Chain A
Amino acid sequence: MRKIAKSALDSLFAAMSESKKVYLPVDGEGGARYQLWTEGTVLSEAVNTVRSAKDFFFPQTENLVEFKMEGKKLDVIDVRRETEDFVIFGVRACDVRSFDILDRVFLGAPVDTYYKNRREHGVIVSLACNKPAETCFCQTFGIDASAPAGDIVCHMTDDTLFLDAKTEKGEKLLATLEGVTEPCADSAADEQKALIRSRLDKLPLKGLTADKFGGDKTKEFFNDPAWASLSESCLGCGTCTFVCPTCQCYDIKDFKTADGVRRFRCWDSCMYSEFTKMSAGQPRLTQKERFRQRFMHKLVYYPANNEGIFGCVGCGRCLAKCPIQMNIVKVMKKLGEGGDKND
Chain B
Amino acid sequence: MQKVTRDILVNKAKELLANGTVDRVYGWKKGEFAYDVTPALFKSEKELDEFVFGDFCGANVSKYLVAESKKAGGKILVFLKPCDTYSLNQLTTEHRVDREKIYAVGIPCEGMLTGSALKDKVDSVLSVETEGDTVKVETLYDGVKTFPASDLLPDRCRNCKSKKHVTYDELIGEDGEVLDSGRFDEVEKLEKMTPDERFAFWQGELSRCIRCNACRDVCPACTCEKCVFDNPKSGLENKAAADSFEEKMFHIIRAFHVAGRCTDCGECSRVCPQHIPLHLLNRKFIKDMNTFYGEYQAGEVVGNRPPVVNYTKEDIEPSEAVKRGE
Contact between chain A and chain B defined by CB under 8 Å: yes
**Which residues of A are in contact with B by a Cβ distance under 8 Å?**
29-31, 46-47, 50-51, 60-61, 131-135, 199, 202-205, 229, 232-233, 235-239, 241-243, 251, 253, 255, 264, 266-269, 272-274, 277, 319-321, 323-327, 329-330
Instruction: Check if A239 sits within 8 Å of B214, measured CB to CB.
Output: yes
Contacts of A235 in B (CB 8 A): 214, 217-218
Q: Report the minimal beta-carbon distance from A175 to chain B, rounded to whole angstroms.
A: 36
Report which residue of A50, A133, A134 has the largest number of chain B beta carbons within 10 angstroms of its beta carbon. Answer: A134
Chain B residues whose C-beta falls within 8 Å of the C-beta of A30 in the assembled complex: 208, 274-276
21 CB contacts below 8 A, A to B, read A29-B208, A29-B275, A31-B274, A51-B210, A60-B240, A61-B241, A131-B123, A131-B141, A134-B125, A202-B140, A237-B214, A237-B217, A237-B218, A238-B211, A239-B271, A242-B211, A243-B273, A266-B238, A323-B270, A324-B39, A325-B36
Instruction: Choose among B59, B115, B211, B239 the residue that contacts A253 (Cβ–Cβ < 8 A).
Output: B239
Pick from A232, A237, A251: contact of B212, CB below 8 A.
A237
Report whether A325 and B38 are in contact in the complex, using a CB–CB cutoff of 8 Å.
yes
Are B239 and A233 in touch, CB under 8 angstroms? Answer: no
Interface residues of B in 128-170 (CB under 8 A from A): 140-141
Other A-B pairs, 9, CB within 8 Å; known A61-B242, A242-B211, A272-B230: A235-B214, A238-B211, A242-B212, A243-B273, A321-B273, A323-B218, A325-B115, A329-B32, A330-B38
CB nearest neighbor in B for A28:
B208
Contacts of A321 in B (CB 8 A): 116, 273
Chain A, interface SS category = loop
Distance (whole angstroms) from the CB of B88 to the closest CB of chain A: 17
**B205 at the A interface (CB under 8 A):** yes
Which residues of B have CB within 8 Å of A326? 38
A-contact bits for B271-301, CB 8 A (1 contact / 0 none): 1011110000000000000000000000000
Flag if B217 contacts A236 (CB, 8 Å).
yes
Whether a CB of chain A sits under 8 angstroms from the CB of B232 is: yes
Instruction: Write the chain A residue with the least CB distance to B120.
Output: A31
Q: Cβ of B31 < 8 Å from any Cβ of A? A: yes
Closest to A326 in B: B38
- The reply on B213 being an interface residue by CB < 8 A is yes
Minimum CB–CB distance from A80 to chain B (whole Å) comes to: 16
Taking a contact as CB atoms under 8 Å apart, the answer to whether A229 and B40 are in contact is yes
Q: Smallest distance from the beta carbon of A41 to chain B beta carbons, Å?
A: 17
Q: Is B21 interfacial (CB 8 A cutoff)?
A: no
The answer to whether B33 has its CB under 8 Å from any CB of chain A is: yes
Cβ of B180 to closest chain A Cβ, rounded Å: 29
Interface size class, chain B: 35 or more
Q: Does B16 contact A (CB under 8 A)?
A: no
Residues on B with beta carbons closer than 8 Å to the beta carbon of A29? 204-205, 208, 275
Chain A proximity of B212: nearest CB distance (Å):
4
For chain B, residues 77 to 130, give those with C-beta under 8 angstroms from any C-beta of chain A.
Answer: 115-116, 119-120, 123-126
| Bound form: Cα–Cα A242–B209 in Å | 11
Q: Contact check, B274 vs A134: say whether CB atoms are below 8 A apart.
A: no
State how many angstroms separate the Cβ of A232 from the closest Cβ of chain B.
5
Per the bound structure, the CA–CA distance linking A323 and B242 in Å amounts to 24
The reply on B41 being an interface residue by CB < 8 A is yes
- With beta carbons under 8 angstroms apart, the residue of A253, A320, A325 that contacts B119 is A320
Instruction: Kindly list the 3 A-B residue pairs having the minimum CB-CB distance in the complex, ordered from nearest.
Output: A323-B271, A30-B275, A266-B240
User: Is B38 a contact of A133 with CB atoms below 8 Å?
Assistant: no
Q: In the complex, what's the smallest C-beta–C-beta distance from B150 to chain A, in angstroms?
A: 21
B46 to A, closest residue via Cβ: A343
B37 within 8 A of A: yes
Smallest CB gap from B215: residue in A: A237
The answer to whether A320 and B115 have CB atoms under 8 Å apart is: yes
Chain A positions within 8 Å of B38 at CB level: 233, 324-326, 330
Decide yes or no whether B256 CB sits under 8 A from chain A: no
CB of A150, distance to nearest CB on chain B (Å): 23
Q: Which of B38-84 contact A (CB under 8 A)?
A: 38-41, 59, 64
Please give, as numbers and ranges, the residues of chain A lying within 8 Å of B64 by CB-CB distance. Answer: 233
Distance from B91 Cβ to chain A, minimum over Cβ atoms (Å)? 16
Q: Which of A51, A239, A267 contacts B239 (CB 8 A)?
A: A267
Q: Which of B31, B213, B276 has the most CB of A within 10 A?
A: B213
Q: Collect the chain B residues with CB atoms within 8 Å of residue A238's CB.
A: 210-214
Contact A50 B218 (CB under 8 A): no
Chain B residues, CB < 8 A from A243 = 210, 212, 273
